């Protein structure tokens, strides 16, 4: 689950959560432990991304949130 933000805004905390969960998923798929990664782990990370993304959409609105979500994910792919 997403912890309540401490010194950062809720938006920054949600973007950070999406980034961290996506990174964990990428590591599970392609990292050193790729062969031993379990489907349940990856599914749980993707569910966390979905929840954080929906909270961001609820907070900012779809038009503002979607570019931020895409940018967070694209940052790891570059």
- Domain segments of the chain: what residues? 36-78
| Per-residue confidence (pLDDT) for residue 27, from 0 to 100 | 83
Residue pLDDT, tens place only, 25-71: 888 877 766 555 577 888 899 999 999 999 999 999 999 999 999 99
SS3 call for 19? helix
Given a contact cutoff of 8 angstroms between Cβ atoms, the answer to whether 26 and 37 are in contact is: no
Q: Alpha-carbon distance 32 to 11, whole Å?
A: 32
């Amino acid at each position: 689950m997403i912890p309540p933000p401490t010194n950062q805004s809720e938006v920054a905390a949600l973007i950070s959560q999406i980034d961290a969960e996506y990174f964990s998923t990428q590591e599970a798929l392609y990292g050193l432990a790729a062969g031993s990664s379990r489907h349940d782990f990856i599914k749980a990370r993707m569910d966390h991304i979905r929840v954080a993304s929906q909270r961001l959409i609820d907070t900012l609105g779809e038009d503002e949130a979607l570019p931020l979500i895409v940018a967070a994910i694209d940052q790891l792919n570059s």
